[in-house]
Structure formats: structure tokens, C-alpha cells
Amino acid sequence: MNHAPKLTSERLESIEKAMGEGGSSVTDVSWNEYSSTFDSYVVEGSQGAAFVKFGMSYTDSNTGHRRGLGNELGFYEAFAPPVSSLPCLVASGLTSDGEEFLILEYVEGYRLEHDTRSDRLERAIVGLVELHDALAAEKAPPIASNLFQRPYFEAWAERVGTTARTWAHDNTWIPRVAPPVSRALARAAEQSDAVVHGELFANNVIIQAGGHPRFVDWDAWGRGPRVLDLAALTLGWPDAPTEWCLATYRGACANPAAIGSATDLHAARLFYGLLALRHRQGQVVDSGEPWLQDLRLSWSALEAQGLP
């Protein structure tokens, strides 16, 4: 785990001012160890706890889309007040030295992690259906209209092919995987224009008392196929085959066709798996890791369908 980020005077001043405007004085600030993208803290105030994230917005050099805290702020502003499975936005602003920050409702509970209890994953999938349906009922702003659509996946396939040689893995198969994955997801994106999290891995799901899931960290959200979120959530989970994941989602969904096909899910799992390999370039990856086994199964399934 990375060392705790420094709580600068500018950051503390911004927290105290924002909390004070809400009528709460700050009594304690501690580092939150779960966020790997932003410097984040848990703030104890006289009126309860809050979650604070510091960072900057940026433009994805590959897609031209805004990412980071600015994109996450856009999400909470677009869907305020949020549905019950989302945290509430408390405040946002800039520190005196120009750093962006968000203050969010602190969600009590534990992070969902891969284990052998499929009932926890089942609750998370059902909660995901409810979230997708609730967001679909709202009107998303234009900022989300062009993410995870056909142009994104077509460009992604080219990027994978040109960067595969830099990965410290047996990657001769990667250029063969990227084109069919891209085509499958491009088709899925045209068939399902939904609001999706974009990086809904298990550690972005907090399970509260009674098993109610809350979904956090929306800096990568956009419009795209629902199957992206299901793939990220279930990748590498023991005893969670594709058929079971799809059946669980469809069983809770008013429109079972909204999630797409098994082919779409296999493609989305490969999409996230290849991204994970890219982010871990130069590292030794254990070939027995469950998510790598999922990738091999997903690629075999796509090949069996005659995809080039």
C-alpha cells in the first residue's frame, strides 16, 4: 500500500472552510487507504463523518474526454439528489493553490472483495440493476454522451495493438484479441446507451449493514453498454460463471435484454483484463490469478464462436 499522502495546510484549510459552511467543525482527519487514484481522507466533524478527495481533472490523451475529479463532480451534480445506492455530494471547490477537492457523504460498511461467498456478489449485482435502472430514468448531461461508444472501442483496439509489445508478458495473443473485443463492445454500445460507472471493480462497492450495496468513485463514468459494469464487478470472482452472472442480472432487470449477450460479457471481461495487464506492465503477474483464468476462458469462448 502507498504511504499516506501529506495533509497540507492548503488542504486542511479547504476542508475546515467547506465543513464549517455546512455547520460542522472538523475534529479529526485520517488517510483513507482504499483510493489508488486520488489522495483521499476520512474527516470526522461535529455533525458526523465525511469523505474527502483531492486531485485534478485531466483530459484522456487517447479519447479527448474529461476524466478525474471534474468528471466525478459532473456525475454528482447531474444525479442530485442521488438514488439510495449513491453517496451524496456535500461540497466541492478549489484549494488556495488550485487543487480540486470533493467532500462526499461517508459511507459506512466494508469494501466488497473477491471471496467464495457468491451471495455477496449476487446482492451487488441486484443492486447494480437497481442503480442502472434508476440512472436510466434520469437525463444525463452532454458530458456523458460520448463515452464508451463505438469510436472509443474502435480506437481502443488500435491502441492495444501498438502498445502490446511494451508489456512484460507473453503478449503475442493480445493483438489477436483486441479487434474482436472491440467489435463486440462497439455493437453492445450501439444497442445499450446507458449511464455506466466505467470502473466498477469490487473495491468500488461498499456493503452496508443488511447487505445493501453503495457504489462509489465515479471519476470514469459515462454512457455505454451496461455489460461493462457487470464485467468489471464479476471479473475473477470464484464460482461466478458467465451464465450465472447474466442470469442474476436478467432476473432482477425489468428489461433482461438490456445487459446484452454472453458474447458481450466475455468481450467486456477481456477489455478490463487487457487494461489491467497494461497498468501492470513491468510487473510479474501470477498466471494462476483468477482474473487471468477468466481471460483465457473468455477468449476461448469468443474463438469458439468463429471470431477472427
Candidates 258, 272, 260, 269; CA nearest to 132 is 258
Q: Per the domain annotation, does 237 fall within a domain? A: yes
Q: Per the domain annotation, does 100 fall within a domain?
A: yes
198 & 127 share domain? yes
Rounded to two decimals, the pTM is 0.86
pLDDT of res. 211: 86
Most confident stretch, 126-135, 143-152, 155-164, 238-247: 126-135
Q: What is the domain range of residue 34?
A: 9-105
Residues 66 and 168 in one domain: no
Query: At 165, is the pLDDT very low, low, confident or very high (cuts 50, 70, 90)?
Result: low
CATH of the domain at 128: 3.90.1200.10
Domain shared by 182 and 97, yes or no: no
User: Are 220 and 80 part of one and the same domain?
Assistant: no
- The answer to whether residue 301 scores a pLDDT higher than 80 is no
Residue that finishes a domain, picked among 51, 82, 105 = 105
Question: Is residue 96 domain-shared with residue 186, that is, in the same domain?
Answer: no
Per-residue pLDDT tens digits for 52-78: 999 887 776 655 667 788 889 989 988
Q: Residue 308 and residue 298: Cα distance in Å, rounded?
A: 14
Instruction: Convert the pLDDT of each residue in 236-274 to its tens digit.
Output: 786 678 889 999 999 999 999 999 999 899 899 888 887
Q: Is the pLDDT of residue 131 over 90?
A: yes
The rounded distance, in Å, linking the Cα atoms of 2 and 136 is 37
pLDDT of residue 291: 65
Please list the alpha-helical segments (H only) found in the chain: 9-21, 69-78, 118-136, 150-163, 174-191, 227-234, 242-252, 262-279, 290-304
202 belongs to a structural domain: yes
Contact 166, 176 (CB under 8 A): no
Cβ(124)–Cβ(205) below 8 Å: yes
Number of domains in the chain: 2
Can you give the pLDDT at residue 77?
87
Residue 250: its pLDDT value, please?
Answer: 97
> What CATH code is carried by the domain that includes residue 96?
3.30.200.20
pLDDT surpasses 70 at 200: yes
Q: How far is it, in rounded angstroms, from Cα 2 to Cα 102?
A: 21
Instruction: Work out the number of other CB atoms within 10 angstroms of the CB of residue 165.
Output: 10
CB 132 within 8 A of CB 226: yes
Q: Per-residue confidence at 231, pLDDT binned at 50, 70, 90?
A: very high
Last residue in a domain, options 105, 131, 165: 105
Note the pLDDT of residue 251: 96
**What percentage of the chain exceeds 90 in pLDDT?**
24
pLDDT band at 34 (very low <50, low <70, confident <90, very high): low
> 279-300, pLDDT tens digit by residue?
655 555 565 666 677 777 787 7
Based on the fold, state whether residues 117 and 246 are members of the same structural domain.
yes
The pLDDT of residue 286 is 60
- What is the C-alpha R_g of the chain? 20
Q: What is the pLDDT of residue 128?
A: 97
Grid cell at residue 45: 466533524
Q: What is the pLDDT of residue 119?
A: 83
Identify whether 3 is part of a domain.
Answer: no
What percent of the chain clears pLDDT 70, i.e. is strictly above it? Answer: 79
Is residue 138 domain-shared with residue 261, that is, in the same domain?
yes
- Taking 50 as the threshold, does the pLDDT of residue 50 lie above it? yes
92 with 154, same domain? no
Residues 270 and 139 in one domain: yes
Confidence category of residue 1, pLDDT binned at 50, 70, 90? very low
195 with 291, same domain? yes
Alpha carbons 249 and 230: distance in angstroms, whole number: 8
Residue 1 forms part of a structural domain: no
Q: What is the mean pLDDT of the chain?
A: 81
Q: In this structure, is residue 163 part of a structural domain?
A: yes
Same domain? For 225 and 119 the reply is yes
Structural domain contains residue 266: yes
Same domain, residue pair 237 and 117 = yes
pLDDT above 80 (res 226): yes
pLDDT at 306: 66
Max mean pLDDT range (32-46, 137-151, 245-259, 276-290): 245-259
pLDDT confidence bin for 124, thresholds 50/70/90: very high
Final residue of a domain: which of 87, 105, 123?
105
Answer yes or no: is 223 within a domain.
yes
